[in-house]
Structure 1
């Protein structure tokens, strides 16, 4: 019972919404999207910034920024980027946004399949479902969810899973993408999704 109470407290904290944030100056040498991510709050629910906004130096990214949040139950990475080529429509209905989500799903599953730092193979990942939701005061996202079994934390019993969510929408003629990793006891899948949507919605509300 204690482990479930602790998890529920984390989930409720994640749904509490973003804290007020001070607007910071753009990072040195940063582009437009670096300046936009600087507007995100220091905390979103129980997650806090774990470093500065960084420029996205991925090949084919014309202008991109990355910001990471960390919490006791996992972490979230926010990506705001524009690739070369035509402007991307806002929202989730265009085929190009859906193709970007499909590529992000493959990348997520490939990462989950990699051995751990100790070289020991991890439990296989299970693709759960795709879903869509509209963030309060923000855009609509399409998301995919996967999970894999993990050892219980020290002092906790029962089964645990690592839940991975990636959510994408068209924004600023490019993409706004968030990947969230959440660790939780079984069976907490629906509460995890609620917490993930609160985190994604809290970040999206500041990206305008």
Structure 2
């Protein structure tokens, strides 16, 4: 989807104002979950195009005018989030986790802010797209390329574990390539943080096509 000149963020995911009565306190500016980012507003961004659509919103490629850099902006409807408590909590968890992650192979969160109807996560823009796209285009990777991507993914996951983060949704669609062709892990909506050595999670989450046999068998 390509947006025309002058289109605003509010037009990307339009939400009636009267649909926000439930759950507004969960994401009010004062509670710390999504504060207004100091010095940053949606007017600082020029929309380029929609690059992805997910269960909780859309991802927009946008030009950040003050810095002259392209960013990926995840735009989420509060009305849609408030319809399902689990979805809302996952967004809050994703923001909390990403706010403290800094690694060459993990997408960085730069700012998070909100309007009366939407939440915004401003992320690194990865111009290379999804690893999944390149797998489809090439059919299969040469061994040296597969080793290259595997090692970068492994280093990214190792870093997440060092930060007590359990990823839980590793798949080619969540492995982006930056402008230099390096892996950047993204989408932490299913992740868990504050892990301990003895932590045991029994919830059944992930993407069906990538679940391990042990998960499917509930072992």
TM-score tier, shorter chain, comes to 0.3 to 0.5
* Higher relative contact order, chain-length normalized (CA < 8 Å, sep 6+): 1
Instruction: Find the structure with the greater CA-based Rg.
Output: 2
TM-score for both structures, normalised by structure 1: 0.33
Higher relative strand content? 1
Higher relative helix content? 2
